[in-house]
Amino acid sequence: MTTKIEQLKTHLAEISDLMYIGNLLGWDQETNMPPAGVKERGEQMATIARLVQQRITSDELCRALEEAEAEVVGMDPDSDEARLVKVTRREVDKRLKVPSRYYEELSQLAVESYAAWKEAREADNFERFRPYLERMVDLRREFASYFSPYEHVYDPLLNEFEPGLKTKEVQQIFTELRPRQVALIQEITSRPQVDDSPLRQYFDPQKQWDFGVEVLTKFGYDWQRGRQDKAAHPFTTSFGLNDVRITTRILEDYVGSALFSSMHECGHALYDLGSDPALARTPLAGGSSLALHESQSRLWENLVGRSKPFWEHFYPRLQEYFPQQLGNVSLDAFYKGINKVEPSLIRVEADEATYNLHVMLRLEIEIQLMTGELQTAHLPEAWNTLMNEYLGLTPPNNAKGVLQDVHWSHGYIGYFPTYSLGNLISAQLWDTIQKEIPNLDDQIRKGEFGELLEWLHAKIHRHGSKFEAPELVQRITGQSITPQPYIRYLRQKYGEIYGF
């Protein structure tokens, strides 16, 4: 390792530490912090944001980066050193365009906004949240303005979560995807509906928790390097390569919520825990984009967790936990129940066939908010109109409508498209995985996930953020991001379940 690279890494390590401290404060806010701590927590988060911004844009770091750039000339462009310099340059150039005040204000508002959102959702009172959301939308428009001229006002926001991808590219993918998913849903709804009533009865919360822990342990989640807690909206957060935590949400009257949430978040955690230790305390540690992150969470949640081979192994164990509820329910009936396709109000509970429509709805709304076509005061009405247009449903209240997701309270405008992109990437990866591990289904039937995790580790996890999503997907699958494998997967799976 060269001296200039080491000097750069010394600066980056301190920034990394500060960011992890911010993550720890955020995790505590959503799991343990008493309600009265909101104002002080906001001030603490603002301080962290200011310190991070000051260090990323400092003269010392910029000089160290320039010297490191000179040293990596002629190196393998895929080396850790060259990629570290490239990713750091991308972040520094972005941060230099944005004043420190902005990040302070955003961080403090996010803490207060989250608390307001949580209260608003519990009380079904959009007006409780609206002033915070209005200010958040203004801040995100302000952020985009620092990157003008741009092709689309949404581009700078999307770039925060999905470097290397443009709004027009996402819209093109969705334009191709939507009619095919709608056609699939229409085909499914023309068939007799499956019965999922056995899943919708009382299930003891502690037993749900314990069964989920068994599953995550089999997946390979290391409880010495992570933990699970409860949160209003499930999430994963990282405090380093050896401390990646997940959360879940338990519903007493639906056995699938906590289980699939836990599997989803475990997928995120396995990605972060899999980074090469050499990348620790640098911008290369952790996932490279939210789409790649979502590809991992959706892969474990759906392609593994909702598959027939998975339940051939785990269903007898679940029946042991819940003999009264499931003892007389066949494996086939249970499998069909957890894969029932029916337009629903809540995104995180949506089936695979309708899920992307929830995301497309949110993308349309976010773009309208950013362009000014939609004002926050009219958001509930717009939400309900689009829910009816996309899914044929009208929410009975705002808690099950516009207030259901936590993302806007944090300012995560630009995040939602990555969920659907993750779905598409997961199917592309699955095609490649099944070619390279031809007996994968048999391994899953035995509850063996080691070879699958090792494949993901070797191909994706260990690289951290070295490669942007489009580049890594192309390297692994030989394709750019495309909806074709995902549509093929859905048609095969639901054709067998619904008989078409």
Q: Is pLDDT at 486 greater than 60 in this prediction?
A: yes
Mean pLDDT of the 93-111 span: 96
Return the domain boundaries, the chain.
3-149, 167-498
Mean pLDDT of the 110-128 span: 97
Q: Are 271 and 277 in contact (CB under 8 A)?
A: no
Q: Is pLDDT at 290 greater than 60 in this prediction?
A: yes
265 is known as an active-site residue: yes
Mean pLDDT, the chain, whole residue set = 96
Residue 349's pLDDT is: 87
Q: Are 336 and 315 in contact (CB under 8 A)?
A: no
Structure tokens at 85: 């310099």
Nearest-angstrom CA–CA distance, 136 and 408:
8
- pTM for this structure? 0.94
In terms of C-beta density within 10 A (0-12 exposed, 13-18 middle, 19 or more buried), how is residue 372 classed? exposed
- Report the sign of the C-alpha dihedral through residues 56, 57, 58, 61, in that order: positive
Residue 489's pLDDT is: 97
Determine how many CB atoms are found less than 10 A away from the CB of residue 253. 10
Nearest-angstrom CA–CA distance, 117 and 125:
9
Q: Are 286 and 454 in contact (CB under 8 A)?
A: no
Mean pLDDT of the 443-463 span: 98
Q: Are 111 and 45 in contact (CB under 8 A)?
A: yes
What one-letter code names the amino acid at 132?
Y
Residue 2's pLDDT is: 64
What one-letter code names the amino acid at 51?
L
Give phi and psi for 239, each to the nearest 5: -115, 15
Q: Which of 81, 162, 265, 366 is catalytic?
A: 265
Structure tokens at 10: 């010394």
CATH class of 167-498: mainly alpha
Nearest-angstrom CA–CA distance, 223 and 314:
20
Structure tokens at 183: 């056609």
Give how far Cα 481 sits from Cα of 107, 377, 458, 478, Å: 32, 36, 20, 10
pLDDT category of residue 233 using cuts at 50, 70 and 90: confident
- Sequence-ordered list of residues with C-beta below 8 angstroms from that of 123, at least 6 positions apart, any chain: none
Mean pLDDT of the 243-267 span: 96
Nearest-angstrom CA–CA distance, 237 and 268:
9
Mean pLDDT of the 450-467 span: 98
As a whole number of angstroms, the longest Cα–Cα distance in the chain is: 69
Mean pLDDT of the 248-268 span: 96
Mean pLDDT of the 437-448 span: 98
Proportion of the chain above pLDDT 90, given as a percent: 98
Q: Are 413 and 157 in contact (CB under 8 A)?
A: yes
